[in-house]
């Protein structure tokens, strides 16, 4: 099946600023794609180009095979959108809001079923201005679903929400995927992408600096796994000599780099064979968060150096 979203050589300039600077990616149907990046990275600009709300400066964009800018009307019937900072009329209730959208889109969706789906049925008749941040986002999700969309575009749907409300939104996103929909999710929460996304692209200053599944990105850009053992410098020296492993003493512990999973067993066997005293051990591996912080840090350092050279 062809891609739900296809982007090639996309550029968006605002005056001299290249907010999106030559990016490409594609999103297979029925998957969750997370577009990760710090504030100002170019996430909303890209998202709104995909939704047909902004015009690309350069590049090729296809959403469900359509050109979002030229074929917006056809596209809008098939996608659902929650804009960043979703707001609605203050006095309207969730039920009325859905009825309003239903009339607008000429759909037959059952407001109650939709509110159940986003776990907001108990607030069906509450005024918008009395809803919590999480409940407002759930209404946004419900409205994005009124036209039974093939793709849902969610621009930072959990920013500013408490952990409980964020989890509730995650549950809805998982349901959307189970229903076979494609989800395009922007976020600056790394663990959210790690938990929900099939594929992730990390965008920084308009450029994609890493992409793939969370595991692939960690493998490609993360530090190797490490085993940390409570032991003496003598143990570090022993491991270094007998395994050729890189073993160093860090914070009073012996830290050994593992180049693959099987190494853990070799290290433990060598430790036992050394006859030297040791106690507990832990293994650690980079998270997407560690990788992100490092990649963005490296990019910023590079940018500073370039800016600093005459």
Q: Per CB under 6 A, which of residues 17..36 are in contact with ligand ADP?
A: 17, 19
Give me the residue whose beta carbon is nearest to Mg ion.
44
Residue by residue, DSSP assigns 89-154 as -TT--HHHHHHHHHHHHT----HHHHHHHTT-GGGTTS-GGGS-HHHHHHHHHHHHTTT--SEEEE
157 binds ligand ADP (CB under 6 A): no
37 binds ligand ADP (CB under 6 A): yes
CB of 16 to ligand ADP, least distance (A): 10
Which value, in Å, is the radius of gyration of the alpha carbons in the chain?
24
Q: How many residues bind ligand ADP (CB under 6 A)?
A: 11
CB of 197 to Mg ion, least distance (A): 17
Give me the 43-72 binding string for ligand ADP, x by CB under 6 A, dash otherwise.
xxx---------------------------
- Residue in 268, 257, 197 with CA at minimum distance from that of residue 227: 257
Q: Per CB under 6 A, which of residues 113..152 are in contact with ligand ADP?
A: none
Shorter beta-carbon distance to ligand ADP: residue 39 or 280 = 39
Question: Do 222 and 293 form a contact (C-beta atoms < 8 A)?
Answer: no
Q: CB-hemisphere CA count at 13 Å for 61?
A: 27
CB of 152 to Mg ion, least distance (A): 16
CB contact burial 64-95 (16+ within 10 A = b; e otherwise): bebebeeebeebbeebbbbbeebebeeebbbb
253 binds ligand ADP (CB under 6 A): no
Instruction: Give the footprint of ligand ADP on this chain (CB under 6 A).
Output: 14, 17, 19, 37, 39-45
């Amino acid at each position: 099946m062809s891609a739900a979203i296809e982007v090639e050589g996309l550029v968006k300039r605002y005056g001299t600023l290249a907010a999106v600077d030559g990016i490409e990616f594609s999103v297979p149907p029925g998957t969750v794609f997370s577009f990760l990046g710090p504030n100002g990275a170019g996430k909303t600009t890209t998202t709104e180009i995909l939704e047909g709300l902004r015009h690309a400066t350069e590049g090729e964009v296809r959403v469900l095979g359509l050109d979002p800018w030229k074929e917006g009307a056809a596209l809008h019937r098939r996608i659902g959108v929650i804009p960043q900072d979703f707001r609605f009329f203050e006095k309207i209730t969730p039920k009325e809001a859905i009825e309003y959208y239903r009339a607008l889109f000429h759909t037959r969706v059952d407001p109650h079923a939709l509110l159940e789906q986003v776990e907001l049925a108990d607030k069906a008749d509450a005024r918008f201005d009395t809803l919590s941040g999480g409940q407002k986002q759930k209404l946004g999700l419900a409205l994005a679903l009124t036209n039974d969309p093939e793709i849902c575009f969610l621009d930072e749907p959990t920013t500013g929400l408490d952990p409980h409300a964020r989890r509730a939104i995650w549950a809805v996103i998982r349901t959307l995927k189970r229903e076979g929909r494609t989800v395009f999710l922007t976020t600056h929460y790394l663990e959210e992408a790690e938990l929900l996304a099939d594929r992730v692209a990390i965008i920084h200053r308009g450029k994609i600096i890493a992409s793939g599944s969370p595991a692939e990105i960690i493998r490609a850009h993360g530090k190797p796994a490490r085993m940390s053992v409570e032991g003496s410098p003598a143990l570090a020296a022993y491991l270094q000599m007998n395994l050729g492993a890189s073993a160093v003493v860090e914070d009073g512990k012996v830290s050994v780099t593992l180049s693959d999973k099987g190494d853990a067993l070799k290290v433990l066997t060598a430790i036992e064979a050394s006859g030297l005293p040791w106690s507990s051990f832990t293994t650690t591996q980079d998270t997407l968060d560690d990788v992100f912080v490092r990649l963005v840090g490296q990019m910023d350092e590079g940018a500073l150096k370039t800016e600093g050279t005459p």
